[in-house]
Structure 1
Amino acid sequence: MLYKFLVVVIIVSMLLGCSPKVSDMVVSEFKGGKITLGEFEKAYSKNAGSIENAKDDSSAQMKKFLELYTNFRMKLEDAKSKGYNENQDLLDELLSYKKKVGVSYLIEKEIVEPGLKKFYEDRKTEVRMSHIMFGPVDDSFDKAKEKAEKVAQSLKDGIAFSELARQYSDDNYTKNDDGDIYWITAGQVIPEFERVAYSTPVGTVYPEIVKTNFGYHIIAVTDKQPAKYKIRASHILISFNQDGTVDTNKAKEKITDIKNRIANGEDFAELAKQFSDDKSSGVNGGDLGFFSRRMMVKEFDQKAFGLKVGEVSDVVKTKYGYHILKVTDEQDFPPFEKEKDKLRELYKKSRYDFEYKNYLSKLKSELNFKFNNSVVDFFVNVADTIKFDEKLLQSKIFNENKNKTLFSIEDINYNVDSVVTFAAKEKNFQGKVINHNNSLSEAANLYADQKLIEHKAMILDRINPEFSDLMEDYKKGIYIFKLQEEEIWSKVQVDSVDMQKVYDANKEKYSLPDRVDFGEILVKDDSLCIQFYNSLKSGAGFDSLAKTNTRRAGFRNKSGRHGWVNVENNELAKKAFELKNEGDFSEPFKNRDGWSIVKLNAKDFARVKTFEEAKAEIASELQEQQSRRLEDEYILRLKNNYNPVFFYNNLENAYKSN
């Protein structure tokens, strides 16, 4: 008995082992190709928007798509038979697209996306920093650097950072606070400071002197902690100005009394309504709404962000007076997907340039980049007056040395000619002497940066499946476009005789609704509108008033004229259509954008279009009819040539695991 059971198990195992995977099942085949269930599922879910959407569709919908997709695949087979894969114009278009899209793809996927995610995560931590700034001395950054280096040595010799900040810092806003910049998070300070903030341990000084547009800086990180996204707080303000005079003692007595009443259980919001000198928030119980770090003055901010929800502060003194704060709510950081679009611009301003340069440095190593400094040095020594212009291209020095290699990427050399041609087209280099401020070296490096990322883009489809699929889709797209052009669009012909016949047989189909040509003067308030109305009644020109006064965007240069508008679709047009005679203007009336006066220029009552007016519409209809007929004829030829066979039953296994 056991023997028979084992034999059955073995036979079943063999049968299962021989069965094809569900994804390998063929759902259609034709001369030269086949479509598996796996390929169908991928195409169908992409068309449906997602796998989840695709799973909800009926078998009839899937069957219809399979037929359309098989037509698509037969067209691609037809494109191959026509030699599209060897057509030089199409190959050139593909290469151009690969370079252009590849560069954008690399920047987005390799730099921006990971950079944005890190930027988002970094914003969940706030950093407290201090600095000692050394501004340019007599416009000299070198002197500022020398001064910074001396102070940095004093730090190493044991002199306190706070003492040096007070004595030497040129930042008058922070020097008296020991150089304290206060709490910051990603996107709130200049990029140079931000990089230091997140890379330096608490309680240490960044080991290098940092250069910015403001000068040189010695930077210390004094604290780090989890950041709060936003808090909601209420406050009671008692101003120093009491009864028309500044009286800090009276203000202090008043705020102290309020603080005691809160401690004894009185309602914070009611006391704010009664006593707060900040009337705009006082009427709302002192509520300030949600705000983020650094939106309030430092003393207020520091106390508010140190409180837990429900806690009430001690008395806080600011330049506005004395405050009592109460935190009433706190918002968590939104999910990355919800925040990323808002953060993108902030990231581009603060981190993108630095991370782009880092990425290029990586590419230089990866792609075996080599730079020939000796060629640059040669030109710097001999070309003391030659500029990036046509004269350079004609000079003896250039023509004798234009084929020398300036840099190479893998096995591709880029010579002097290519760099100079690039620089001559760039505004930043036009007219510059090539040996001035390292102009040639700068141009070569800029050109090299461009070529590095282009080179990576050109090999991206070999190493990145997602980009490879993108390129394959584009290739199929241009093949289909060329097929449609050859087989259908180029064969569509519409002449005026055919159009006239259609028009004569279907005149009533081509009609125009009530239309009106009118002008408008739009202003913000009714009093100004009435003023213009009275001016019009006194004989002022409507067009001239509209040209200088209408507030509707883009209409001043048209003297307020809207042109012909369908009456049924526009409230302004309805008002104009109600006017009796051409040249009449309405009384002022309110609309969603303000107050308006409209003038009737002309009316056109509902009517049948003339042949000339209907020509474009008729031509479009005839083109569409012919295109459908030609498409049907082409598909029929494909079916006759490729003999498609469908296995609809296998669609029942769609989106089911093996």
Structure 2
Amino acid sequence: MIRKFIVIILLTFCVSSIYSQNKKEELLTIDNKPVYVSEFKRVYQKNLDLVKDESQKSVMGYLDLFIDYKLKVAEAYAQELHKKQSYRSELLIYQEQLSSNYLYEDKVAEDVAREAYERSLDEIEASHLLIRIESSSPQDTLAAYNKIKELRKRAVNGEDFNELVRKYSEEPNADKQSGFLGYFSALVMVYPFETTAYNTKVGEISDIVRTRYGYHIIKVTDRRKKAPEILVSHIMISEKKGPKTFDAEQRINEIYQLIQQGESFESLAKQFSDDRNSAKKGGELKPFTKGELRSKEFETEAYKLSVDNKISNPFKTEFGWHIIKFKEELPIKTFEERKVEIEKRVRSGNRAKIITNTVNNSIKQKYGFKKINSYLPFFSEYVTDSVLKRRWRKEPISKEDDKKLFIIGDHEVFYSDFADFIYERQLRIRPHSEKNELLKSFYDEFETQELKIYFRKDLEKQNEEYAATISEYRDGLLIFDVMNNNVWDKAKKDSVGLENYFNKVKDNYRWKKRVDVDIITAQTESLAKKAQKLLENQTGEQVKELMNNDKVNVILTSNVFEVDNASLPNNYKPSIGISDIIEENDAYIVVKTKNIIPSSQKELSKIRGKVMSDYQNYIEEQWLEKLRDKYKVNINKKALKKIIKEYKS
């Protein structure tokens, strides 16, 4: 994930090597390799609003960034990073994703998505019985089918389904006593299983359905409308987020008492919630429905609430302590509102095979496809059973045996190509029990891959938009690798260099003036005035105990902060003693400043992350200087003047 995120950032400065045939004017050359005016203009126009440094928004200012970027790309190729398997694999994934926008038939995807949407309006409660198929041999398949056929007959004739499951089911993950699956909706189970469940009436036993796990029969015990989305707000006090000078459970109970006393939930969320993203909105979360949250406890508590029971009691989850406020139950979204989300899921889930088959057929029809030889007679002998344990060693295939598998367009695919695929692919599969079944799976995947590779190559030749986007991502991946090898990873491993760098620039890393304070937050001005008076002779903790003896009237925060820390009130002025009352976020705040600590030097061990980031920037600049010396850059001044004139007008 980190790599993909950084690649996206790097793409801000990516350029396309694709250009129109009538715009081949050179802007510059790097070691005599041309970079065209159209490339610069494309990236300049695309990224101008993203550049923060005003000096780099001019053509001349941005040209320096552009050249540095092109130098990094040149160095990546010089270091042969484009040959790395990790780079090639990630580029292939992106090509697959991007080309799908040009490849999938919208009508097929929409029909599959609409079916999923219609089903998603209901939830099915069911149990099931599974008989596994030990191998793909006709004998084993028939034996498994006959077994489940007999069990279905017994279930339909009235035998207890739970008892049949206990005795005969071969499903290791369902409830051992009943095969109970609970409630599920669309896009959760594998597609054939889901289809059969939704086509079975409540109380009945389904037809036999085959999935990759084996043969199933399903007993549907309930069908209900799916719970609507709800909108709630919450206040969270984390037990893990940074050093705490208070007990999280005690703090949430204090806040709960303030809510019971009539204080604004939204104001309290802004003041105290550790979920800062929602705190800014008064604690409001995005709408959700059952099964969508990472915390089952939070979801359960939220769905207990209603218009008549709006506020939950404090409760704990793995994220901390919470109080929830119910806001509203939302109407069910239409298909059009959910279309993009559902289509994305059906294209990446087990329904994708429906679309894949359609896509494959369309490619075959467009370019022409001819199957020459069957893979199975040769590969069932050539590939040993060791492939089942991901240990197969590939042997060379003689010229006589290396027959054509199929032809797509003008591209011929041979047995040796499929052998290479199997050798690589075996390393990324779960162990299998039946070789021919695995080979069939491999072949289907391989044929699909070859069809799409051919399609993508032709698409890059014919479609300028697609070619430009792929080129940008290709360079972005290379930039990530070249930066990682020459800057980021180098800095992480060079502890001596980091320390030497810190010693040279340590005056840049100093504590600002800090204050040791007790911050009292009250919901009324009169309570704040009382706290202000008590603070003259009492500590913050003592004031809290005196004022909260029967109910929560004040909240105390004690710590040492830098003077510009967000925990301090906006209008706070550092001065030993007790501040005036400061009104902020619907609250009244009094600050007792116990000590003012002058600016001082920070220790490397305490700020290593910040220093590391600066050290990486330092190494990058030194490295870029070497690249500028290594590569000869010649600028076409005439072309540059034309660009400057164009963007000044």
TM range (shorter): 0.3 to 0.5
Larger radius of gyration: 1
Higher relative contact order (CA 8 A, sep 6+): 2
Per the normalisation by structure 2, the TM-score is 0.41
Per the normalisation by structure 1, the TM-score is 0.40
